Structure 1
Amino acid sequence: MHWHFRDKLGLFLALDERLVLLQDEMKQRLCSEEDGSLPTMARAITTAIKDFEENPRRRRLLTIMLHRCEYVAEMAPALLRRRQADAEVRETLRQRFQEVAERGGLSPAWPPERAALFLYALVSGFLHEWLRGEADFTLSGEVSDAIRSFLDCVAARPGSGGEK
């Protein structure tokens, strides 16, 4: 396959362009849901990570991109793409949490920006650990449970002043 490219950098950038990032898939699933409730958010995110977990090709490519590359100047487009995907999925999460908050479904202790940051950190942290190959947990099992538990924690409780 390398012979179709000018050099290893060309191969790397071509692979990067074809890789569907987990952030992109999460964003797409979150945006396609009509119901912006916390259980719907949980389903969108856990479905995205389950699909990712079940695709060994994506796992190998993302492992290379995140754990086996030193991003030198020539690789800036790939790094920029990842940073943009991170920012976009965080913003999508913030918007969804904002919608939930406006309907009274988010605890007043969790501003949408903070809930989005913590949920993103939870998902991305577990993803990085899982990609290292030493994790004794599954994305579709324990990580999905952790996501649902987090969303339960940020939900408004009756009588907390968060419900309308």
Structure 2
Amino acid sequence: MARKTKEDALETRSQLLDAAEKVFFEKGFGQTSLVDIAEAAALTRGAIYWHFKNKADLFEAMADRIRLPLESLVEACAEPQEADPLGKLREFWIQTLREITRNPRKRRVLTILFFKCELNSEARQLEIRRQAGHLQYVQHIEQCLQNAVNKNQLPASLHIHQAAIANHALISGLISNWLFLPASFELSSYAETMIDNYIFMLKHSPHLQTEATQATEDVYR
């Protein structure tokens, strides 16, 4: 019986997350109430509070469901024993972009995150989480790029931090622009070219080398 109860609880939680995804997508975070979500799930507010502390907690759980299994690739490429960290990074970036075009849930949740998550006082917890996620992503990419430098796949003089920031701008920019206007370009077919252009820049752009960066900073001091 206990097993059945646990299964029921997991089913109810999933039902609430499905409903939250639908309502947040339609109304945005700020305009959505827990009553809206409970009604969409055909459940009570009590069921929500059994599983989640508040609306922000429910939102975070919804967003957690789209974490890509591919993220294990970016973790693996930071390991010292990884023989091809740059190749793993390339695969991660390309598949991340293509997965968004194939997976409706990821598209909906990312649309909510980019365009329907108003940063008001109620969303402060979400803002903090997004800031932490931004920093964590950049740090992971820095570790992977450094590993690629150590394996002689990238120049030893590469400005690691600037390269990681440029990558975040590229990936988030491609995703947000495509979600905003999917008809403007084919994200899935452009993914490989965009990523290969970025990697070419890492290998050959003089402006991403530490010496060149320092010289540029000196000019503007």
CA contact (8 A) 1:29 1:48 kept: no
Q: 1:65 to 1:79 in 2, by over 3 A?
A: same
Higher relative contact order (CA 8 A, sep 6+): 1
2:86 is aligned with 1:38? yes
2:167 is aligned with 1:144? no
The number of residue pairs the alignment matches comes to 155
Could you tell me how far 1:52 is from its partner in structure 2? Answer: 2.4
Measure, in 1, the Cα distance between the counterparts of 2:183 and 2:130. 23
Name the residue aligned to 2:166: 118
1:29 to 69, 73, 80: 73
CA contact (8 A) 2:73 2:88 kept: no
Q: 1:43 to 1:134 in 2, by over 3 A?
A: closer
Please tell me whether Structure 1 or Structure 2 has the larger radius of gyration of its CA atoms. Answer: 2
2:144 is aligned with 1:100? no
Q: Please give the root-mean-square deviation of Cα atoms over the aligned residues, in Å.
A: 2.8
Map 1:32-71; keep pairs closer than 5 Å: 32-33=76-77, 34-71=82-119
Q: 1:27 to 1:113 in 2, by over 3 A?
A: farther
Instruction: Give the residue type in structure 2 aligned to 1:84.
Output: A
SS at match of 1:19: helix
- Structure having the higher helix fraction is 2
Measure, in 2, the Cα distance between the counterparts of 1:85 and 1:104. 29
Could you tell me how far 1:132 is from its partner in structure 2? Answer: 0.9
2:132 to 73, 84, 87: 84
Between the aligned residues of both structures, percent identity stands at: 20
Instruction: Give the residue type in structure 2 aligned to 1:30.
Output: V
CA contact (8 A) 1:115 1:154 kept: yes
Unaligned runs of 5+ in 2: 1-18, 20-36, 39-43, 49-53, 205-221
Measure, in 2, the Cα distance between the counterparts of 1:36 and 1:29. 11
